[in-house]
Structure 1
Amino acid sequence: MLMRSIVALINGGSQNTTNVIVYGAGETGCQLVRSLGATNYHAVAFVDDNPTIQGSVIYGLKVYNPKKAQELIVRYNAKITLLALGGAGRNQKSKIIKQLEDLGTAVKTIPPIHQIVEGTAKISDLQDVSIEDLLGREPVAAEPKLLSRCIKNKVVMVTGAGGSIGSELTRQILNLKPAKLILFEISEFSLYTIEQELIQNCKAKGSKCKTEIIPILGSVQNLPHLKQTMRTFQPNTIYHAAAYKHVPMVEHNIVEGVKNNIFGTWNCAQAAIDVNADSFVLVSTDKAVRPTNVMGTTKRIAELVLQALAKHQNKTRFTMVRFGNVLGSSGSVVPLFRKQIKSGGPITVTHPDIIRYFMTIPEAAELVIQAGSMGMGGDVFVLDMGEPVKIADLAVEMIKLSGLTVCSAENPNGDIAIEYSGLRPGEKLYEELLIGDNVSGTEHKRIMRAEEKSLSWKDTEALLTALNSACAAYDGVTIKQLLLDAPTDYVGTLELVDPLSKQNLSITSQFTH
């Protein structure tokens, strides 16, 4: 194999092979080069930032300074730079990736070496650079006591258990050894999928996993069904992740958005109080802060409901956890951009200046669990999302890391164009995590406690009564006016885009909070 590699290097590879540069000449890089002999990928050089091995020859390949990467790409007509960075942290990987993105090759990673050795993956299964590595956000070690406090040996219920956040919550909760795990989900397929995954995870643990997994089909809008579920299983801890979260979709379905996000939350909270549940954690969103859309406003009112209930009773401890976009969720731009790049473009971005906060789903779920363990009652916690990301810049980076160029006025012969489609109904240019400046730290460095204004239960109940009547009448204009009048800092108009609204009048109002 070594001789074949040397001969191929001299000849510059055959017509059927793709020349690649391997970034990283350590153990991972060496294993990678050994494995490439059985593929159509042909390694032509190592690059490594370790000066002690630069200039040496390993497996017939010379190790170069990364500054030589552009020269090597031209000399060997390399099409791909393969990252073999071993245990490098995300921050280091991010710096390396950003150095490589303008060199004109696709930047790829390989499956973990242990998967290749075990036969569960092949070396030729090249993968796109993960956005987690591109963003460079290092995970923070969890606090074991916070993780297990509300879960170990307890009955735990997750609403929206088949969704992006809900399913990850169930995975992490299962690892924390609850006595029972109740999966509450409206989608039969999603419920079946996560139930089967958790069953297999439990089987893999053998006798160490004694958790009873209970799948329950149901909607959070169905209060009798919720009460029956909670009376039957008596959950100690409830994580409420069920919600409609897609901004334009809720804007077009205002009645269902209000019923699901506001009344669904109230239903779950009331059922929890009725069975004396210890803890109730609402998965909220940064879009609840000074919302410009119905979805964000419904989530802020859901927070207000729980804040009022926290003062109105002392049976159940209510906690809200607010964070931004999660990578890989059903509404994330990342999988959409990848799909658009593979199809030749264009990539669609709503606005050149739009920015968003991002967090991985596992980190978000882990922080939700820990934040829920710290609440005293009525707490609003916000997660440290790191630095915001400009979506247009993310699109450009993803194009470049695919080995392609951006088609623009300056480069009309580029590969992938970026088109700006305009902000969608209710969409913001940027999101916030805090309404005011009154925030304090907690025992976790990435979780902050926000002091937010709240309502009395009497005022909250009056708002809910009015909203309920308007929903029953499908009176979208009244619903919009009630949302505008509520103390949510909602900035919007009375213009309706919901085609089912009984009074679809397209009345524009100058009234804003």
Structure 2
Amino acid sequence: MKKLRDAFNALYNGDNIVKITKLRYIPRWLVIIIDILIILFSIFLSRLFLQNLSVEVNFPEYAMQKRLILIVTNVLFMYVFKTYAGIIRHSTFFDFFKIILASGSTLVSLLIVNYITEIALGKSLFLYPNLFLYFLISVSIMFFFRMVTKQFFSILVDIQGSSKVRVAVVGVGEASVALARAIMHNPNYPYRLEGFLTGRSDSNRALLLGYKIYNKNQFFINESLVKKFDAVLLIKEIMTKQEIEEWMTLALDKGLRVLKAPTLSKMRDSDLVGGISQLQIEDLLNRKPIKIESEEVKKRHFEKNVLVTGGAGSIGSEIVRQVAQFNPSLIVVLDQAESPLYELELELLEKFPEQRFKFILADISNNYRLEKVFEEHQFSMVYHAAAYKHVPLIEENPHEAIFVNILGTKNLALLSKKHKVNRFVMVSTDKAVNPTNVMGASKRAAELFVQSLQNIPGNTTKFITTRFGNVLGSNGSVIPHFRKQIEKGGPVTITHPDIIRYFMTIPEACELVLQAGTMGNGGEIYVFDMGEPVKILDLARRMIKLSGYTPDEDIKITFIGLRPGEKLYEELLSNNTVTIPTHHEKILISKDPSAEFDQIDTLSKQIVLAAVKRDKLQVVRILKTIVPEFISNNSEFEVLDRGVALDKEIIEDHPIL
């Protein structure tokens, strides 16, 4: 009632368009009153028509009683079929059908009354022409009232929508039509439907929901037509990556924004139009994720104790979320980052109230601390995602990589072996392949140590390694960095115009980790077929365009040179590496060279001692012995690659601990 009063006040005060369109619906009691007035008017018209034909009615002395019977009967069936319940400005054929049912039931009921009165009194209570005429008039006017109201609101919305984003929905299928209807029927949303775009050429003269369907080739060459639109709106789920890229390129070249709608599943579960957002670069890099064997993965985790190190990080936290779906007995989340660990605790306790968690603040280089954790909880699975990964920082502080990436991994792996953990799954990186920086080399050394434990006599733990490339949206990744630079107005900084990288999503990476933990027999390094690499310069240009700017004009791109230890491209496989396929076409086993436990254990002790002494050159020198393919690039450690007899020097200078 208040909203209706506000709408009429707005009409009186002159601010009619905005206020009326904010009125969600006409109150039901008002619809019933209007329908009763229509019934009275229909009775009057039908009676007037028959009078003009000089037709005499039966039982004229009971005229008021007959009209009351008609009104009560019609209102009763209006209540039964809820003709007043629909939102009038969103009326459809279904609302018309309900009116037909109510009025038709009224007609049938009165025909039955006529039949009874004919038998009992010798003549019908109502004239048959009068009943049928009343039926036609009342149905027509009721439906006409709803259509006029709907069109009235539509006109007001169009007038109000002059400041809205004018969109063209891509596609003419059911999902696209559903999206278009949602935009049309929600005046409070900041979008206004102006038409449809399709790759088909057989719909040029057709109308859909009253709007034109444009062929994309003809549309984008017509400059005057393009100016009538502000954005194209696509549904990502029903389009291939190639189709998304094609529409994006065509739209951005013409200065149109590119918007994406929610997925089809979200259309049923949430606010459809409210979920429309700007197309992001992640949408173009995202691929179909791995389909994990849920039953086998669940079997490995169900009612088991699971440890996730680096659990507050990008990869670790997603592993925790995915593992929590398989109802383990306990998930221990271990990390040395206090604030992220606490934030994750709040999130997980809310999202998985029935799951038992334990959050441990600890450094994996502290073996005494880890020992207590393993003694207290008999882990079945250990996911090792804790690591230092920032290439320039680690190049400047190589000893820290030794403490976390090598010593931390060694501590966890040995404790897993000692406490007979069923499976130990290590998260590695493509930077460990033919490394040119300390970070990558330290991860390769960790891989070698983990592999070396597999064949030790008495070992029952299966040690498994997963290796993949850059992860979209992870902490410190390039895309959030570029996004911040664009928001600030640039420039976007790139190290080299030819640098390329592989990308995958966080859920995709974690599904690989879970699947590898299920598939592995121990000692394997799993690599993922990551498709084609992405040129970072192209990535930056696309992000700038998607943000509504022109590269090199609105937002500058500058090249700052390769950072210490950085290389132009990453590899997932070493030179001449043999790969073995698995039953997953996207997952391969890399048969990299391995090391004997005694050898890698000795070198790991030596490199930890050098790290304790903060001897940077000695740390990297030993690291190059552990990982012979480690050739520094754009780094102060390149001096160590110039023909020094590393093995002999290490043995002489550093006796075995």
Same fold (TM over 0.5): yes
1:347 has 2:501 as partner: no
2:569 maps to a residue whose letter is Y
- Once the two structures are superposed, the pairs formed by residues 83-482 of structure 1 within 5 Å of their partners are 83-84=234-235, 87-90=238-241, 92-112=243-263, 123=273, 126-135=276-285, 137-203=287-353, 209=354, 211-313=355-457, 314-407=459-552, 414-435=553-574, 436-482=576-622
Tell me, yes or no, if the aligned pair for 2:465 and 2:524 is still in contact at 8 Å. Answer: yes
Distance 1:140 1:493 in 2: 34
Question: 3-state DSSP class of the match of 1:150?
Answer: helix
**Alpha-carbon distance, 1:104 to partner:** 1.8
Higher helix share: 2
- The answer to which of 365-374 and 298-307 deviates more is 365-374
**Alpha-carbon distance, 1:50 to partner:** 4.5
Tell me, yes or no, if the aligned pair for 1:107 and 1:403 is still in contact at 8 Å. Answer: no
1:375 maps to a residue whose letter is G
Larger-gyration structure (1/2): 2
1:510 maps to a residue whose letter is R
Question: 3-state DSSP class of the match of 1:311?
Answer: coil
Tell me, yes or no, if the aligned pair for 1:23 and 1:29 is still in contact at 8 Å. Answer: no
Question: 3-state DSSP class of the match of 2:627?
Answer: coil
Question: 3-state DSSP class of the match of 1:353?
Answer: coil
**Alpha-carbon distance, 1:114 to partner:** 6.6
**Alpha-carbon distance, 1:99 to partner:** 4.0
Distance 2:254 2:218 in 1: 11
Select the residue among 163, 170, 177 that pairs with 1:23: 170
Distance 1:380 1:495 in 2: 28
Tell me, yes or no, if the aligned pair for 2:290 and 2:511 is still in contact at 8 Å. Answer: no
Question: 3-state DSSP class of the match of 2:563?
Answer: coil
1:146-174 Cα shifts (integer Å, max 9, x gaps)? 42242122111100001000011001101
Distance 1:218 1:303 in 2: 22
Distance 1:23 1:31 in 2: 14
Question: 3-state DSSP class of the match of 1:284?
Answer: strand
Tell me, yes or no, if the aligned pair for 2:381 and 2:422 is still in contact at 8 Å. Answer: yes
Tell me, yes or no, if the aligned pair for 1:292 and 1:492 is still in contact at 8 Å. Answer: yes
1:223-277 Cα shifts (integer Å, max 9, x gaps)? 1111110110110100000000111121122111111000000011111112110
Tell me, yes or no, if the aligned pair for 2:441 and 2:627 is still in contact at 8 Å. Answer: no
Tell me, yes or no, if the aligned pair for 2:429 and 2:469 is still in contact at 8 Å. Answer: yes
- Once the two structures are superposed, the pairs formed by residues 34-53 of structure 1 within 5 Å of their partners are 34-35=184-185, 37-51=187-201, 53=203
- RMSD of the alignment, in Å? 2.7
Tell me, yes or no, if the aligned pair for 2:567 and 2:633 is still in contact at 8 Å. Answer: no
Cα distance change, pair 364–39 in 1 and its aligned pair in 2 (3 A):
same
**Alpha-carbon distance, 1:92 to partner:** 4.0
**Alpha-carbon distance, 1:137 to partner:** 2.0
- The answer to which of 368-377 and 155-164 deviates more is 368-377
Q: What's 1:411 paired with?
A: none
1:80 has 2:227 as partner: no
Gaps of 5+ in 1: 204-208, 408-413, 498-505
Cα distance change, pair 154–53 in 1 and its aligned pair in 2 (3 A):
farther
Higher relative contact order (CA 8 A, sep 6+): 1
Question: 3-state DSSP class of the match of 2:453?
Answer: helix
Question: 3-state DSSP class of the match of 2:455?
Answer: helix
Gaps of 5+ in 2: 1-149, 647-657
**Alpha-carbon distance, 1:87 to partner:** 3.4
Distance 2:265 2:286 in 1: 23
Distance 1:267 1:427 in 2: 28
Distance 1:166 1:174 in 2: 12
1:61 has 2:211 as partner: yes
2:614 maps to a residue whose letter is Y
Count how many residue pairs are aligned between Structure 1 and Structure 2.
490
1:70 has 2:220 as partner: yes
TM-score if structure 1 supplies the norm length?
A: 0.88
**Alpha-carbon distance, 1:8 to partner:** 7.7
Q: What's 1:510 paired with?
A: 642
1:27 maps to a residue whose letter is V
Tell me, yes or no, if the aligned pair for 1:238 and 1:279 is still in contact at 8 Å. Answer: yes
**Alpha-carbon distance, 1:437 to partner:** 2.9
Tell me, yes or no, if the aligned pair for 1:319 and 1:375 is still in contact at 8 Å. Answer: yes
Tell me, yes or no, if the aligned pair for 2:444 and 2:627 is still in contact at 8 Å. Answer: no
Identity %: 38
2:375 maps to a residue whose letter is R
**Alpha-carbon distance, 1:72 to partner:** 6.0
Question: 3-state DSSP class of the match of 1:454?
Answer: coil
Distance 1:331 1:465 in 2: 30
**Alpha-carbon distance, 1:446 to partner:** 1.3
Q: What's 1:206 paired with?
A: none
**Alpha-carbon distance, 1:396 to partner:** 1.2
Tell me, yes or no, if the aligned pair for 1:18 and 1:42 is still in contact at 8 Å. Answer: yes
Distance 1:113 1:171 in 2: 23
**Alpha-carbon distance, 1:395 to partner:** 1.1
Question: 3-state DSSP class of the match of 2:564?
Answer: coil
- The answer to which of 466-475 and 310-319 deviates more is 310-319
Q: What's 1:502 paired with?
A: none
Distance 1:224 1:360 in 2: 35
Cα distance change, pair 381–38 in 1 and its aligned pair in 2 (3 A):
same
**Alpha-carbon distance, 1:217 to partner:** 1.1
Cα distance change, pair 214–284 in 1 and its aligned pair in 2 (3 A):
same
